[in-house]
Structure 1
Amino acid sequence: MAQKLAPYGTWTSPITAELITQSTINITDVLVDPVTGAIYHLEERPSEEGRAVVVETRTGQDVFGHWSARTGVQEYGGAAVTAYGGFVYFSHVVDNRVYRVKKGEAPEAVTPDYPSHRFADFAVHPRYPSLLVAILEDHTKPEPANVVTQLCIIDTDAKSVTPVVSGADFYAVPRFSPSGTHLTWQQWFHPDMPWEGAEIHIAPVTVQDGQLHVAGSTYVAGKRKEISATYPFWCSDDLLIFTSDEAGYHNPWTYRVSADKADALLPTVVEEDFSEAAWWLGGSYGAPLDDGTALLTAFRDGRSVLYIADVRNAALTEVDCPYVNVEHIRHVGADQVVFVATAADAALPSAIISLPQPLKLSVPPDDEPVHVVFYPPTNPEYAGSDQAGEKPPCVVNVHGGPNWKEYQWLDWIKQYFTSRGWAWLDVNYGGSTGYGRKYLDRLLGKWGIVDVQDCVRASRLLAAPPYSLIDPARVVIRGASAGGYTVLEALSTFPDAFAAGTSNYGVSDVAGLANDTHKYESHYMEKMMAGTPAEIPEVYKARSPIYHAEKIKSPLLIIHGKIDPIVPYKQAEEIAQNIRRRVGRVDYVLFEDEGHIWQKAKNIKFALEREIGFYEGVLGLRK
């Protein structure tokens, strides 16, 4: 069949919003029962109102019925499930209780009915399986400053909860050694996020009369405000592996209990990050193969690479990795691991998939590097445009965080646009993760400046020679959460840079966010702005789009969730009202039943169709 010609942005595509939302299942974790060898995975199903379901991987059977295995710890959640001895333990987001379930039986609550307590990141004691260690987040006093985070022991027989480790602002990754004689964990304090400054500790464990006791802890690695030590896992009772960015990149380190000493695993630094920023709990970027080797993953040019680490010889061997992203690596046994991975191909004909083209741009005036990923318009039914010399319209996509990054895995929303004749540009601006500590720290004190400038300059570079890939007059910008903030700040700071913008649950008032957001990020802005709102109120005001919304000239679409606990919806309503007062173009959508990040298929579908329709109307692409 002969290929057609049609203006960019007007192509027809089989990738519909209905297909994306109704057929998509997100696999968010994988679990291994170390006793039975059973493997489970966690599915988030937009078509079931965002329900999170535990599935027995080999049979494909759901472990339970109407329940939802999700936790509200740190609001973003993660690590809501574990498995041991034929039982699956999970946090049920509806009542925040922990449940135990065995195949063919109904779930049974193993924590008291106390909705103000939230639980996550479970580990079962290997000799006393009725005892679980977990993160306990106590919201009895719901104000962020009064929320208390501890490590606790859940006695699943007595159905009791007992705090065992406290004093830090946050805890994560509690893990028993193979014989249960020691417990390791990660902890950190405000104003750090865990990728900025976090410590790893271990402590001896004893069990007497059914009660688990954790003695005084031993510091292993990490330093407040300076060094991030993350994701510990045991290779043996004596050997702990973790990552540390002490030398500029998150490289693997080891700790020997017998020697009470931490060392870099490798003699020289590998300029790759072997772990990711912990926005969600439950990440795992390595697992033991035996007591002296482990499978590790790292990020190179925005994609995952796999290594076998030989601890005895302090060596890495790279192995073939056909996957774009690898995470949640879990030990199965006998030199076997399982993990969640995503690839760049799909069930649809590959010819319709726009493949990622990573670029490292040198951005003037300081020639700072900026990492971007470009996706060209791609559809096998079209040879290009019937308009001579036409360049495609482009979506500039800004990731959230702001310390995060866009991956190169198959994202159907990107393909939804590129298959219709749009170009797509992901900007991993300064401050993005996966490129080392120096690149991460570019954003310190400069949120709303570096991210905005990198997005504007990157899009301008790709519109000009020698690239000339996109139409400079038809570039739109979109982002969610912190990315939504960058959208608003870009439209008000560079009012002629973009033809339109979309802010999904974005920030408009940075000081307001510092006062109203949840505990996890309540001090985050202190580093991003280089001070507190009380110390530098003029900086917060200057970098809050709500105070200079009159400068926004381009049409703006704002979508927010009414029950968002991270960025309160009043952030969206107030800037929308400000723009309307001076008769600017703003379309505002409020989802009554959504929080932070859309979970329900009907809302995901509506938001996507509304967004592309908005751009088509602004750019005159509708037929």
Structure 2
Amino acid sequence: MSHAPYGSWPSPVDAALVAAHDGHPEALGAVGEEVWWTAPRPAEGGRRALLRLRPDAPAPVSVLPAPWNVRNRVHEYGGQPWAGAARETGGPLVVFTDAGDQRLYALEPDLDTAPRPLTPVSAVGGGLRWCDPLVLPERGEAWCVLEEFTGDGPGDVRRLLAAVPLDGSAAEDRSAVRELTDDAHRFVTGPRLSPDGTRLAWLVWDHPRMPWDGTELLVAEVDAAGRPGPPRTMLGGPGESVAQVEWAEDGTLLALSDRAGFWQPYRLDPDIGEAVQLCDRREEFAGALWKVGFRWMVPLPHGTLAVLHGLGTARLAVLDPDRGELADAVGPWTEWWPSLAACGERVVGIAAGPERDYEVVALDTATGHCRVLAEHHTDRVDPGYLPRPEPRVFTGPEGREIHAQIHRPRHPELTGPPDSAPPFVIWAHGGPTGSAPLVLDLEIAYFTSRGIGVAEVNYGGSTGYGRAYRERLRGRWGVVDVEDCAAVARALVAEGGAAPGRLAIRGGSAGGYTAAASLSDPATADLYAAGTISYPLLDLAGWASDGTHDLESHYLESLIGPLAEVPERYRERSPAYRAERIVAPFVLLQGLDDVVCPPEQAEALLAAVAGRGVPHAYLSFAGEGHGFRRAATVERALEAELALYARAFGFDRNDLAPLDLAAGREAR
């Protein structure tokens, strides 16, 4: 191995490669024996394609050409955008939402006809949005979640379950949409119809709760005309989160609830509501319900269940509910996306591992054998350029555990100078109620293959470790997350694994807040030599006062406290109001179409640091929202971040586009 300064190593993992493979398959489902899912297309404006894999086909096909974009904006983050039903003649009938106009469309791919609109366009506010459909050809309807804006404000909205005619009669007529429920609750999940069609189940919650705080499982009787009656609450409440509900073949309910401190599976009798725990493991069988339609559990024939479970991971297993026993699927996958489906005796899902991209994988429950169906992993570069992640548990303030994943620099031909340690970037994930999965990530390899380490910190408040760990952040956002990230950084330095004075912090969305809060906190401002802040939240009070979308508009009441009661806390923890403490150079990245963390948030920090002599650059991207999808955006953002570290850590590169940290602005 030759020696070369950390950060200067040549690497085939360039920004174009990362951008070309940004994102992964999602929204998987079964249509009879066929498997369908959506996949990213960064080079095509960031759209999501809809793919179809027939049982006898060697490869999937895209059923919709560009510019069709199978995605919706329910809750702004979107929900399950499609569903289908197999038919005896004419092939499958699929309904989907398109990102362009947010309408629901019908698609009959075997009839070679163009998609037919099923719902109208509304000019009021955010319009009409649909997600998590249930296709019912025998009823001539698709039952969905409807998000309907009634005004121009982010809170001028109602949500309910609705039935959309499949004949297109509602394509220009909102009144032809049949409302299945009222809008008594602020948020609803998709409909789940019992096997005999006589009962409907769904989940609801209300402000100020988020779905991981408390939800309710409702059940209503459905009459012969398809009209649900008054609902009954079967499970859940303000302090209990029910993340998913399904019907078993025998007509009982299956639910994932955290009433015992972890999301675990339960069976309920819909007549009396008695809940029986099916597997008493102190593990998580679900996660944060950021998107309507996530599925961590799916019923299988013969009464077993396919489930995802683990602590900090999500492994696939088959659960025998009578014995409470799990049989884990065998394979190299450590993380399964919450998008399980059943195809007869097979369980199909989307899985990845530390050395594998997300793939479409099928488990044959009769044999226990797993095989990749599509989206096969291929080594984009020599695996010697990829890091080998190390799951770690660090000790933080008050002796609390901090979970993290350490990705050390790795190169097949180079190592750093003798008796030296590499620079490290601390990554704070978004959410903040979320986590960093233990999977192959070319964006991480972009840095590690150049000699820069990455530490992903699942700070207190993260999912995957039980409700108590998740609730460490209650009232302490901007404190616990900042302390935990700093504790990991300092521990790496103390171990000799990271160079003192050559640490940076980065994050997007809530992680962008943590990064900015860390740069402006007196206890940590001197710890970091640089920071990358992407589509962040920076002015807490402004964000909580109609400064964001409806889903998260009350989120800070739990993370910070009620604004009317602790206004000083909102100001003290806002990076925009303590910018005088920032001394490290930073890059600020922002999508101009972001409605979750609007550009005004970034502009507030820019105004606060103006004239203070802190080197910084602002890159804004037209056409991008909350999170970047276009290949050109991902490339520019990565190269700007690396250019920042080159300056802050003191290494030379001649393969980067110029980044003027003195100018403070670079519009895109």
What is the TM-score normalised by the length of structure 2?
0.88
**Residue 135 of structure 2 corresponds to residue 124 of structure 1:** yes
2:38 paired residue number = 42
**Residue 303 of structure 2 corresponds to residue 292 of structure 1:** yes
**Residue 381 of structure 2 corresponds to residue 381 of structure 1:** no
1:607 aligns to what SS in structure 2?
A: helix
**Residue 107 of structure 2 corresponds to residue 94 of structure 1:** no
Q: Which amino acid aligns with 2:559?
A: M
2:647 to 610, 617, 620: 617
Aligned pairs for 1:171-210 within 5 A: 171-208=188-225
**Contact 2:235–2:273 (Cα < 8 Å) also in 1:** no
Distance (whole Å) between structure 1 residues aligned to residue 341 and residue 606 of structure 2 = 49
2:294 paired residue number = 283
2:499 to 441, 464, 471: 471
Distance (whole Å) between structure 2 residues aligned to residue 199 and residue 327 of structure 1 = 24
**Residue 234 of structure 2 corresponds to residue 220 of structure 1:** yes
**Residue 578 of structure 2 corresponds to residue 555 of structure 1:** no
Question: C-alpha displacement at 1:319, in angstroms?
Answer: 3.8
2:227 aligns to what SS in structure 1?
A: strand
Distance of aligned partners of 1:23 and 1:358 in 2 relative to their CA distance in 1, 3 Å threshold: closer
Report which stretch shifted further, 337-346 or 370-379: 337-346
1:309 paired residue number = 319
Report which stretch shifted further, 496-505 or 21-30: 21-30
Distance (whole Å) between structure 2 residues aligned to residue 577 and residue 25 of structure 1 = 33
**Contact 2:234–2:270 (Cα < 8 Å) also in 1:** no
Superposed CA offset, 1:41-67 (max 9, x none) = 101211111111111124421111221
1:513 aligns to what SS in structure 2?
A: helix
1:56 paired residue number = 52
2:396 paired residue number = 363
1:236 paired residue number = 249
Q: Structure 2 stretches of 5 or more lacking a match?
A: 87-91, 171-175, 357-378, 654-668
Paired-residue identity, %: 33
1:13 paired residue number = 11
**Contact 2:134–2:144 (Cα < 8 Å) also in 1:** yes
Distance (whole Å) between structure 2 residues aligned to residue 537 and residue 163 of structure 1 = 40
Distance (whole Å) between structure 2 residues aligned to residue 402 and residue 260 of structure 1 = 33
**Residue 258 of structure 2 corresponds to residue 245 of structure 1:** yes
Distance (whole Å) between structure 2 residues aligned to residue 542 and residue 329 of structure 1 = 40
Q: Which amino acid aligns with 1:75?
A: E
Superposed CA offset, 1:27-82 (max 9, x none) = 11212113xx2211101211111111111124421111221111010000030111
Superposed CA offset, 1:353-373 (max 9, x none) = 212101111124x11111111
Distance (whole Å) between structure 1 residues aligned to residue 268 and residue 345 of structure 2 = 21
Aligned pairs for 1:383-532 within 5 A: 384-385=415-416, 387-464=417-494, 467-493=495-521, 494-515=524-545, 516-531=547-562
1:264 paired residue number = 277
Aligned pairs for 1:517-596 within 5 A: 517-531=548-562, 533-596=563-626
Report which stretch shifted further, 564-573 or 22-31: 22-31
2:440 aligns to what SS in structure 1?
A: coil
Runs of 4+ aligned residues of structure 1 deviating over 4 Å after TM superposition are: none
Aligned pairs for 1:131-170 within 5 A: 131-157=141-167, 158-159=169-170, 160-165=176-181, 166-170=183-187
Distance (whole Å) between structure 2 residues aligned to residue 330 and residue 459 of structure 1 = 36
2:78 paired residue number = 77
Distance (whole Å) between structure 1 residues aligned to residue 17 and residue 242 of structure 2 = 41
Q: Which amino acid aligns with 1:446?
A: R
**Contact 2:539–2:604 (Cα < 8 Å) also in 1:** no
Q: Which amino acid aligns with 1:78?
A: G
Report which stretch shifted further, 354-363 or 333-342: 333-342
Distance (whole Å) between structure 2 residues aligned to residue 45 and residue 333 of structure 1 = 26
Aligned pairs for 1:333-352 within 5 A: 333-346=343-356, 347=379, 348-352=381-385
Q: How many residues are treated as equivalent by the alignment?
A: 605
Distance of aligned partners of 1:25 and 1:194 in 2 relative to their CA distance in 1, 3 Å threshold: closer
Distance (whole Å) between structure 1 residues aligned to residue 548 and residue 133 of structure 2 = 26
Question: C-alpha displacement at 1:235, in angstroms?
Answer: 2.0
Distance (whole Å) between structure 2 residues aligned to residue 143 and residue 554 of structure 1 = 37
Distance (whole Å) between structure 2 residues aligned to residue 353 and residue 181 of structure 1 = 53
Question: C-alpha displacement at 1:146, in angstroms?
Answer: 2.0
Question: C-alpha displacement at 1:23, in angstroms?
Answer: 4.4
Question: C-alpha displacement at 1:144, in angstroms?
Answer: 2.6
Superposed CA offset, 1:525-557 (max 9, x none) = 0111121x2221111001111111011000011
Question: C-alpha displacement at 1:343, in angstroms?
Answer: 2.2
Q: Structure 1 stretches of 5 or more lacking a match?
A: none
Question: C-alpha displacement at 1:24, in angstroms?
Answer: 4.5
Superposed CA offset, 1:380-424 (max 9, x none) = 121x12x33110000100001111011111111001101111111
Question: C-alpha displacement at 1:259, in angstroms?
Answer: 4.6
1:463 aligns to what SS in structure 2?
A: helix
Superposed CA offset, 1:197-229 (max 9, x none) = 011111122242xxx2011112121111x1101
Q: Which amino acid aligns with 1:43?
A: A
Q: Which amino acid aligns with 1:60?
A: P
Distance (whole Å) between structure 1 residues aligned to residue 618 and residue 39 of structure 2 = 31
**Contact 2:29–2:341 (Cα < 8 Å) also in 1:** no
Question: C-alpha displacement at 1:330, in angstroms?
Answer: 3.6
**Contact 2:530–2:645 (Cα < 8 Å) also in 1:** yes
Report which stretch shifted further, 335-344 or 5-14: 335-344
Question: C-alpha displacement at 1:328, in angstroms?
Answer: 3.8
Distance (whole Å) between structure 1 residues aligned to residue 481 and residue 339 of structure 2 = 31
Question: C-alpha displacement at 1:296, in angstroms?
Answer: 0.7
1:410 aligns to what SS in structure 2?
A: coil
Distance (whole Å) between structure 2 residues aligned to residue 337 and residue 194 of structure 1 = 26
Report which stretch shifted further, 256-265 or 425-434: 256-265
Distance (whole Å) between structure 2 residues aligned to residue 329 and residue 502 of structure 1 = 31
Q: Which amino acid aligns with 1:372?
A: A
Superposed CA offset, 1:288-327 (max 9, x none) = 1224211111132x22223221123343333435312113
Q: Which amino acid aligns with 1:62?
A: S
Question: C-alpha displacement at 1:258, in angstroms?
Answer: 4.7
Distance (whole Å) between structure 2 residues aligned to residue 544 and residue 391 of structure 1 = 33
Question: C-alpha displacement at 1:244, in angstroms?
Answer: 0.7
1:123 aligns to what SS in structure 2?
A: strand
**Residue 49 of structure 2 corresponds to residue 33 of structure 1:** no
Distance of aligned partners of 1:329 and 1:239 in 2 relative to their CA distance in 1, 3 Å threshold: farther
**Contact 1:29–1:340 (Cα < 8 Å) also in 2:** no
Distance of aligned partners of 1:534 and 1:439 in 2 relative to their CA distance in 1, 3 Å threshold: same
Distance (whole Å) between structure 2 residues aligned to residue 530 and residue 342 of structure 1 = 37
Distance (whole Å) between structure 1 residues aligned to residue 272 and residue 433 of structure 2 = 35
**Contact 2:26–2:337 (Cα < 8 Å) also in 1:** no
**Contact 1:400–1:481 (Cα < 8 Å) also in 2:** yes
2:189 aligns to what SS in structure 1?
A: strand
**Contact 1:429–1:451 (Cα < 8 Å) also in 2:** yes
Distance of aligned partners of 1:500 and 1:329 in 2 relative to their CA distance in 1, 3 Å threshold: closer
2:482 aligns to what SS in structure 1?
A: helix
